Structure 1
Amino acid sequence: MFAATAHAATPTASPDEAFKGIYTKEWSWRNGQAGILTSGEAQPGDGRLDTVDAASQARRLAYWNDVLAQLDRIDPRSLSGTVRVDYAVYHEQIFNLAAAQRFAQWQMPFNSDSAFWSDVGYVLHGDDLRTREDYRHYIERVRQIPAYMDQEIANMRLGLARGFTVPRDVLDGRDVSIAAVAELKNPEDSALYKPFKTLPKSLPAKDAEALRADARSAIAQGVIPAYGKLLTFFRTEYVPKARPTLAAESLPDGKAYYRQQIREYTTLDLSPDEIHAIGLREVAKIHEAMLETMKDTGFKGDFPAFLQFLRTDPQFYAKTPDELLMRTAWVAKQVDGKLGKYFGLLPRQRFAIEPVPADIAPYYTSGRGGADVYLVNTYDLPSRPLFNMPALTLHESMPGHALQLGLSAEQDGLPPFRRDGYISAYGEGWALYSEYLGEEMGIYHTPYEHFGYLTYQMWRACRLVVDTGIHHLGWTRQQAIDYLTQNTALSQREIANEVDRYISWPGQALSYELGYLKIRELRERAEAQLGEKFDLRAFHDTVLALGSVPLPVLEQHVDAWIASKK
């Protein structure tokens, strides 16, 4: 039924042409879908919110299974060099999209970190409006929200019926961001109304007022009641019936589901037990470095006392949100002055530093970065130590996510599924490597900032232990909290939020450390084999040149680069 829409190849097409025909048609089809999510990121969908119901999900599974069958009829060895890389990336991308449908992941459309109801504004692209038609189309998309919410509620009911839900233990307080919309008295206070507060001056006053009136009506009569309905469902139905277990392996077909999550987020064929062992090894190694750095500070007590000192002494905390933002900006500016020494190619894109929105800040991570914005959480300042800001900033802005994503977006010649895709093991591995690079760049000026860097390294190593502990070994939430409390200088709020994220988002936490270890391994291999011929700038440019790729593809690419330099 769906093969006709997906087939692209003809019997006489070359393997390269056949492959291009497959992904061109599929990408065009994918752009015409709304509500596709994978790896925690929204796929293209032209800002629509209209099709996430069970029937459309079944159609997607059939479509992607058909695309996989077509791909498997192509021998990758018959493809030309760069196209072979495209094939490896694309095959894994389609495999993961199909797997998410096979496990019906759409029946659990949120986690403790991110949720469909909070992502609506991002998906609708309200910042991109220019013309009167743009604003009208935006209002039409806002009017789709009630139907979209109804579909998501129906999907979550299907998840409840088979025990495929977010664990009950991490749901406390997650309704706050729904209530923030449901309880609005004035539609102009909605974030969805923001584009109408500064309409283009070229619009006639009559048209501008008509657009504003339509937007107010769409929000007051549609959006606010829809969020009210979602809030009632969440509080009276979802939370009481959510599963009491934590482990991904306790879900229906849970062992296979967790192994698929590992494959998607790490791009490696590793068992939970292997990953747990790697984590324990790295935790022990980093702990020794932390003890040495503690001595450098002159602190006289033991390690737990030092962590308590770091969590409670006022000297380590900003007094105002602006102070935290300014200290962050100062780190970013120092990094700016060093980039040319470490990278041959830098993106044109610049990034802003902004506070995390107030409605999601209480349970949001400390910071999150992209090509254009670095969000810093200024909520609960006693939970945001200044000595962590250099490592956080290196990770989330330059030379971490802002650099990697900016370069990827500017790559010429990459197919759109690569330019717009994101593979967590690569992207998060690079960002964690960027924290390591801060040592060489001289960004950590004091023993406390160096300890902040080490506590961030420890945090990611602990994730390997905690994620597999929860989802494979049956750890409790408190066990995970205690493990992070004993091994890192993260605040209690950060630790609780992070543990809830790992519980409700299986496998994602594994991508950081495993990606970082692979990039470190490849650099050490290049240094050992090239000796004096090793050029750090060229190595970094080589790692970043492919955009986001699975780790085995990156390894093959770096090995070829090493061979070419010998």
Structure 2
Amino acid sequence: MNNKSALGALAIAAALACAGASADTAAPAVSSAAHPAQVSVAGKQLGALADEYYDALARFDPVAAGESGDNRFYDQIGMSISPAERAKQFGLYKGYLKRLHAIPREQLTPTDRTSYDILDYELKTALRFEPFPEHLLPINQMDSVPVMLANYASGEGAQPLVTVRDYKAYLNRLRQLGPWIDQAIANMREGVRLGVVQPQALMKSALPQFKQLVSNKLDENIYYTPVKHFPARFTDAEKRELTEAYRGTIDKTLNPALARLATFIEKEYLPHCRTSTGWSALPNGKAWYLARVASQTTTALTPEQIHQTGLREVARIQGEYARIGPKMGYNGPAGGLPAWVSEQARFKPFKTDKEVIDVYRKLDAELRQKLPKLFSLRPKTPLDLRLEPELSRATASDHYTPPAVDGTRPGVFWSVVNDPKQYGSTGMVTLFLHEGQPGHHFHIALMQELNLPNFRKFGGNNAFTEGWALYAETLGTEMGLYNKPEDWFGHLNDEMLRAVRLVVDTGMHAKGWTREQSIQYMRETLGYPESLARSETERYMAWPAQALGYKVGALKIQELRQRAEKALGPKFSLPRFHEIVLDEGTLPLSLLETKVDRWIAASR
């Protein structure tokens, strides 16, 4: 998934940083038939509270809401980094939790009980983050509001640019960006005072992005791009009005603010950034990281348990390398296979961006024929395939962005091609199964089509979202997509990346690993060149624990499938299992496990 979106979905709910399931998650269901009038009242109370809660989240971080498909507030960027707004939001969470607990859960329908449990889960975890000053770290090399809005200038992202109203909405966001930047600078100055600062390596990577946003000539300013591509149906008067408005905003307020930010980062912030690597180096950093681990995995697993799981998975996959290597013409040590593959010219066959995207389009067409045998429940919303905009290519990875719920934007698989001659072919099948279909698209687009409360329709958690997508990669075996040894290697190599993430993320943030130690480990296990190992390491430094959800979630879904296959034998239906996993949207892993166990018992 779009990493900016993945964290946007977390920003929209600090609440999605979930700590653990509600204590009564597995409480026995109480028949609603006994108290129909009371159930109706309780259900209405829950529905009203859930809607109020979600609207507060969307208003708090409208950019994240738009990334998740909700464009109601697409003319606002919000000020979630403001200390006053942040305190107000935590106050709302406390009030919502108190009101939620006043609703008699036993009088709710089974569907509403699930919503109750998820809401309880999210609110408790949101409040767990109250002591940690995340607002003092408003930008990094992976994502920031200025860069996100710059990417929207093409009109291909989560900001529609089709009508005059759309243009004015984007302009309104640009007018708010100057004050946001000044608040970010104030926050970072406070962070310097308190010792809550980014690692120096990350800000060195981020600085060129912010310098690039500053322009000496208006026509070269990326935020001016919409004016250079007006839709033909705009009248001359509309074009003149919008041109003047964009010109004034960019020249008078936005460009000076961007210049202030770039100068501040280079001259004032960078010299005070820390040379340490892990989150544990921050004040109260160990507890902060533990909260992030719980949020990103929706489990009570400790960093050490996750670290050991990663080491076991690395060893297992290297065993598969030993089996598949000779079939590819490699007879060296298993651990050297990735590096050997990266050096083979036959696995880098592309000369142009178009050749890359054409391979994905052919695969997409093949999947449309194969997936109905595995899925009885599929999204109606289409999936589009596009190339990543130039501004963000250097730091982005191939990813997915959700559709707009109003149908104005499809789900999109973005292919990031910096140099087509260096784009490897071995991982394309497994990547598309993850980012396209049946991975993120089947989960996220389908979630928007289900009759769910908005906080569930647009929310989620990382362990389910990324766990499902990683599980989806394994389905390539059943569809005959890994018959070529190099494609199976590509799948194994992506699995290895997710296993390595468990090792290096916990290593850096909980076990004292240095940035250089992580880079070296990634080079040795994944065969990465130094530049790629560095950018991946710095991603995990910027987003502590975000990379843990993939493997933890996938292992849980695989475990549940194996449990169902063993328990049901010939009665097991793979399409039905997939429907059980997906038909209520995103669930914390504990709730998903309870649901699958209930289905197994009923199916027996």
Question: Structure 1 residues 435 and 221 mapped into 2: Cα distance closer, same or farther (>3 Å)?
Answer: same
Q: Structure 1: how far apart are the matches of 2:63 and 2:591?
A: 25
Structure 1 residue 198 displacement after superposition: 4.0
Distance (whole Å) between structure 1 residues aligned to residue 114 and residue 495 of structure 2: 31
Q: Does the CA-based 8 Å contact 1:369-1:397 persist in structure 2? A: no
Asked whether the equivalents of residues 105 and 116 of structure 2 are also in contact (C-alpha less than 8 Å), the reply is yes
Q: Which moved more, 1:335-344 or 1:47-56?
A: 47-56
Question: What's 1:4 paired with?
Answer: none
- Specify the code of the residue in structure 1 equivalent to 2:59: G
Unaligned ranges ≥5, structure 1:
1-10
Query: CA separation in 1, counterparts of 2:542 and 2:341?
Result: 29
Match of 2:500, SS state, is helix
- For 1:141-540, what aligned pairs fall within 5 Å after superposition? 141-182=173-214, 184-317=215-348, 318-371=350-403, 372-381=411-420, 383-412=422-451, 414-540=452-578
Q: Structure 1 residues 138, 563: CA separation in 2 closer, same or farther (over 3 Å shift)?
A: same
Q: Which letter maps to 1:388?
A: G
Shift in alpha-carbon separation, 1:370–1:340, aligned structure 2, 3 A: same
Whole-angstrom CA distance in 2 between matches of 1:545 and 1:170: 39
Q: Deviations over 1:424-462 (max 9, x none)?
A: 100100100111111111112321111111011111011
Following the alignment from structure 2 to structure 1, what is the Cα–Cα distance between the partners of residues 227 and 209? 22
Tell me, in whole angstroms, the C-alpha distance in 2 between the residues paired with 1:297 and 1:330. 24
CA pair 514-251 structure 1, distance change in 2 beyond 3 A: same
Identity across matched positions, percent = 31
Taking a change above 3 Å as real, the CA distance of residues 487 and 84 of structure 1, as seen in their structure-2 partners, is same
May I ask how many residue pairs the two structures share in their alignment?
Answer: 553
Partner of residue 67 from structure 1, selected from 78, 96, 99: 96
| Number of the residue aligned with 2:111 | 82
Question: Is the 8 Å Cα contact of residues 61 and 102 (structure 1) preserved in structure 2?
Answer: no
Q: Which amino acid aligns with 2:397?
A: T
- Structure 1 CA distance, aligned partners of 2:261 and 2:339? 41
**Is the Cα–Cα contact under 8 Å of residues 218 and 247 in structure 2 kept in the other structure?**
yes
Q: Is the 8 A contact 2:63 2:77 kept in 1?
A: no
Correspondence for 1:111 among 132, 137, 140: 140
Letter aligned with residue 376 of structure 1: S
**More moved, 435-444 vs 153-162:** 153-162
Task: Report how far residue 417 of structure 1 moved.
Answer: 0.2
**Which consecutive residues of structure 2, in runs of 5 or more, have no partner in the other structure?**
1-37, 404-410
How far apart are residue 342 of structure 1 and its match?
0.7
Higher RCO (CA < 8 A, seq sep 6+): 2
Question: In the alignment, which residue of structure 2 is the partner of 1:99?
Answer: 128
Please tell me the residue identity of whatever aligns with 2:223. L
Distance 2:531 2:114 in 1: 42
Relative distance call for 1:56 and 1:123 in structure 2 (3 A) is: farther
Alpha-carbon deviation of 1:419?
Answer: 0.3
Q: How far apart in 1 are the matches of 2:152 and 2:97?
A: 27
TM-score computed with the length of structure 1 as normaliser: 0.91
In structure 2, the residue corresponding to 1:173 is in which secondary structure? helix
How far, CA to CA, are the matches of 2:471 and 2:207 in structure 1?
35
Equivalent residue, structure 2, for 1:7: none
Q: Distance in 2 between matches of 1:490 and 1:427?
A: 26
Pairing 1:18–2:50 present: no
Q: Which residue of 2 aligns with 1:8?
A: none
Select 1:48's aligned residue among 72, 76, 80: 76
* CA drift at 1:526: 0.8
Letter in 2 for 1:497: S
Letter of the 2:194 partner, please give it.
R
Distance 1:204 1:384, change over 3 A: closer
Is 2:594 the partner of 1:556?
Answer: yes
Aligned partners of 1:355 and 1:378 also within 8 Å: yes
Q: Distance in 2 between matches of 1:491 and 1:354?
A: 26
> Comparing 218-227 with 41-50, which one deviates more in the overlay?
41-50
> What letter corresponds to residue 413 of structure 2 in structure 1?
Y
2:15 corresponding residue in structure 1: none
Q: C-alpha separation between the residues in 2 aligned to 1:512 and 1:254? A: 23
Query: Secondary structure of 1:128's partner?
Result: coil
Aligned pair in 2 of structure 1 residues 521, 67: CA closer, same or farther (>3 Å)? same
Corresponding letter in the other structure for 1:252: P
Superposed displacement of residue 499, structure 1: 0.9
Q: 1:207 to 1:358 in 2, by over 3 A?
A: closer
Query: Which SS does the other structure have where 2:477 is aligned?
Result: helix
2:60 to 30, 33, 52: 33
User: Relative to structure 1, is the Cα distance of residues 304 and 95 closer, same or farther in structure 2, using a 3 angstrom cutoff?
Assistant: same
Q: Distance in 1 between matches of 2:68 and 2:268?
A: 27
Are the counterparts in 1 of residues 338 and 493 from structure 2 also a CA contact under 8 Å? no
Q: Deviations over 1:9-40 (max 9, x none)?
A: xx9994333333322322333333346869x9
Deviation of 1:376 after TM superposition, in Å, equals 1.3
Structure 1 counterpart of 2:139, which letter? F
Match of 1:5 in 2: none
Q: Structure 1 residue 167: deviation in Å?
A: 1.3
RMSD: 2.5
Q: What whole-Å deviation, never above 9, does each CA across 1:142-178 have from its counterpart, x for those lacking one?
A: 2121111111111222222222222112222311221
Secondary structure in structure 2 of the residue aligned to 1:546: coil
What is the SS of the residue equivalent to 1:330?
Answer: helix
TM-score normalised by structure 2 residue count: 0.86
- The residue type equivalent to 2:440 in the other structure is H
1:331 offset after TM fit, Å?
A: 2.4
Contact 2:398 2:413 in 1 (8 A): no
Counterpart residue type for residue 187 of structure 1? L
Q: Is the 1:47–1:123 Cα contact (8 Å) retained in structure 2?
A: no
Aligned to 2:17: none
- Alpha carbons 2:318, 2:334 under 8 Å: kept: no
SS at match of 1:365: coil
**In the aligned structure 2, how far is the partner of 1:169 from the partner of 1:132?**
42
Q: Quick one: distance in 2 between partners of 1:126 and 1:192?
A: 15
AA at the equivalent of 1:477: R
Bigger shift: residues 51-60 or 489-498? 489-498
AA aligned opposite 2:386? E
Secondary structure of the corresponding residue to residue 32 of structure 1: helix
Distance 1:504 1:33, change over 3 A: closer
> Which segment is superposed worse, 164-173 or 554-563?
164-173
| 1:491–1:539 distance in 2 versus 1, CA, 3 Å | farther
* Deviates further, 447-456 or 381-390: 381-390
Q: 1:110 to 1:230 in 2, by over 3 A?
A: same
How many angstroms apart in 1 are the aligned matches of 2:291 and 2:421?
38
Q: In structure 2, give the amino acid aligned to 1:241.
A: H
- Is the alpha carbon distance of 1:126 and 1:135 closer, same or farther for their aligned partners in structure 2, counting shifts above 3 Å? farther
Q: CA deviation at 1:480?
A: 1.1
**Residue 11 (structure 2) aligns with:** none
Q: Is the 8 A contact 1:167 1:246 kept in 2?
A: yes
